[in-house]
A and B are shown apart, each in its own frame.
Chain A
């Protein structure tokens, strides 16, 4: 069965504005952006598409070879998974019906997606990490293993 992915919520939050996806990893302080074909891949992931369905969604919007798009999708999925922004969806329930979003028939030349990565907030996280205290509750701070885990 083809692998589907899901957004690694709640650690990862995201918003799309003017076609650009802004992604924030709340655990690491890293934030990312995806534009154009990258945003299209992200939106297909959100809809529960597998690799082939994501490529199909790109074909509706972009002019390019099938192999080029397949390679680009595979590379981006690998990168997103390596950054822990997505994870394989192991649920056995059928995915949502995939309705690729076309571009009104206007296809533009395909350019491989690029994940832009920004790490300038990591210093803030390292200087002032916020630990949500759980097991013992107030007034005990979490043990180091717990907060790092």
Chain B
């Protein structure tokens, strides 16, 4: 598509302009708060303008915090622009505008007025929001998802829509569209001390022949109507935040030691809601696993990309796939997953 011949009426923002804006916001907020993380094996530094932004958007990364001071592969700058946030009584959903410009990628969602920008080199990003305390809940549970997704691509990793639980010896990727039981499976795994949690919605997968799951967020979400099914977690859930439909909690603080930053991927599991009492694992097909994994992953990429399908198909060919029939007794979910992991070669 050709560009219009007329010049835009206003000068386009520049990366230097974003950096200036961040620096000004940091001074106004009393300085920066730095978070140093290890994400998918690489050093990531997040610079927040002020403690409020760090408190609001840093919690999901608490399990990846490192004391290392090594040069960062990615540095993100995060600030409030003190604008009036989008009207919260209307839907937060809405169009996203993706820009692939010389020098940077950008995504703007007018409904939330959140702007994400990643420099073409892939090592510096900016995240501007109207008000750190008034974002939709998914911006807290999965912060900077688009920035991390673009950066992960360059690291040879793929951000996928799925939960993941396991041990240091290996674990499973739990895939399916929203409402398929993915979060329930991941969160129910916390009922068994033998399993650790890498995420319930988005994780990264790297490695070709020997795929590895990398945790991105330690947030966990449970629908209010499902809370009674997780009685052992009720205290943690009760202390969590309230999203519209879900209780949100962060493992690093609610259940210290139960998150895991990475593990070898041993199997893909597709949950299926049933009226059974107990959960059970059945052999699955790779095509069903790809159908459960690919569409929801691809349509949450910005922009949706064709190359992702080939990558995901390759991933599905690499490890076995299973169906996990979910029953009313959620404590049997982790038991079945542990049994599956013990049986895999």
Which A residues contact B (CB, under 8 angstroms)? 9-10, 13-15, 17-20, 22, 24, 26, 29, 31, 33, 118, 120-121, 124-125, 127-142, 147
Asked if residues A138 and B12 are in contact (CB atoms below 8 Å), the reply is yes
CB distance B299 to A124 under 8 Å?
yes
Taking A29-B299, A31-B291, A128-B95 as contacts, is the C-beta distance between A139 and B13 under 8 angstroms? yes
Contact in complex: B295, A118 (CB < 8 Å):
yes
How far is it, in angstroms, between the C-alpha of A138 and the C-alpha of B115 when the chains are bound?
A: 12
**Of the 9-residue stretches B28-36, B62-70, B206-214, B309-317, which lies at the interface with chain A?**
B309-317
Contacting A at CB under 8 A, from B271-292, are 285-287, 290-291
Known: A128-B95, A130-B96, A147-B95. A121 touches B4 (CB 8 A): no
A-B contact pairs, 17 of them (CB 8 A): A10-B306, A14-B309, A15-B290, A15-B309, A15-B313, A17-B290, A22-B287, A22-B291, A121-B177, A121-B299, A127-B94, A131-B96, A132-B100, A133-B97, A138-B12, A139-B10, A139-B12
Q: Is the CB of A129 within 8 A of B96?
A: yes
Asked if A118 and B291 make an inter-chain contact with CB atoms under 8 angstroms apart, the answer reads yes
Measured between alpha carbons, how far is A33 from B285 in the docked complex, in Å?
13
Pick from B12, B98, B298, B313: contact of A17, CB below 8 A. B313
- Which residues of chain A come closer than 8 Å to B291, judged between CB atoms? 22, 31, 33, 118
Quick one: CB contact mask for B72-114 with A, threshold 8 Å, 1 for yes?
0000000000000000000101111111110000101110000
Which residue on A lies nearest to B316, using beta carbons?
A17
Q: Is B156 an interface residue (CB 8 A)?
A: no
In the complex, residue of chain B having the shortest beta-carbon distance to the beta carbon of A116: B291
CA distance A142 to B152 in the complex (A): 27
Q: Which of A10, A24, A26, A132 contacts B98 (CB 8 A)?
A: A132
Contact yes or no, B306 A13, CB < 8 A: yes
**Complex alpha-carbon distance, A19 and B285, angstroms:** 11
CB < 8 Å neighbour of A129 from B13, B95, B309 = B95
- When the two chains form their complex, are residues A26 and B290 in contact, meaning their CB atoms are under 8 A apart? no
CA–CA, A9 and B291, complex, Å: 19
B296–A26 touching, CB < 8 Å? no
Q: Which residues of A contact B343 (CB under 8 A)?
A: none
Min CB distance A40 to B, Å, is 15
* B98/A131 in contact, CB under 8 A: yes
Q: How far is the CA of A26 from the CA of B94 in the complex (A)?
A: 18
Contacts of B1 in A (CB 8 A): 134-135
Q: How far is the CA of A130 from the CA of B302 in the complex (A)?
A: 7
Closest Cβ of chain B to A14, distance in Å, is 7
Q: Which residues of B contact A15 (CB under 8 A)?
A: 290, 294, 309-310, 312-313
Task: Contact check, B296 vs A121: say whether CB atoms are below 8 A apart.
Answer: yes
User: Given contacts A31-B291, A121-B177, A138-B106, are A131 and B95 in contact (CB under 8 A)?
Assistant: yes
* Residues B101 and A138 in contact, CB atoms below 8 Å apart: yes
**For the complex, what is the distance from the CA of A147 to the CA of B110, rounded to whole Å?**
15
State A129–B300 Cα separation when bound (angstroms): 9
Query: Nearest residue in B to A122 (C-beta to C-beta)?
Result: B299
B228 within 8 A of A: no
A20 in complex: contacting residue of B3, B4, B287, CB < 8 Å = B287
Let me know if B257 is at the binding interface, CB within 8 A.
no
Q: How far is the CB of B338 from chain A (nearest CB, A)?
A: 27
Question: Quick one: CB contact mask for B177-219 with A, threshold 8 Å, 1 for yes?
Answer: 1000000000000000000000000000000000000000000
CB distance from A65 to the nearest CB of B (A): 29
User: Are B3 and A135 in touch, CB under 8 angstroms?
Assistant: yes
In the complex, the chain B residue whose C-beta lies closest to that of A134 is B1
Q: Are B101 and A18 in contact, CB atoms less than 8 angstroms apart?
A: no
A17 CA / B287 CA spacing, docked (Å): 6
The smallest beta-carbon distance between B311 and chain A, in angstroms, is: 10
B327 in the interface, Cβ–Cβ < 8 Å? no
Give the CA-CA distance A140 to B97 in the complex, in Å. Answer: 9
Q: Are B2 and A135 in contact (CB under 8 A)?
A: yes
Q: Report A-chain residues with C-beta under 8 Å of the C-beta of B295.
A: 24, 29, 31, 118, 121
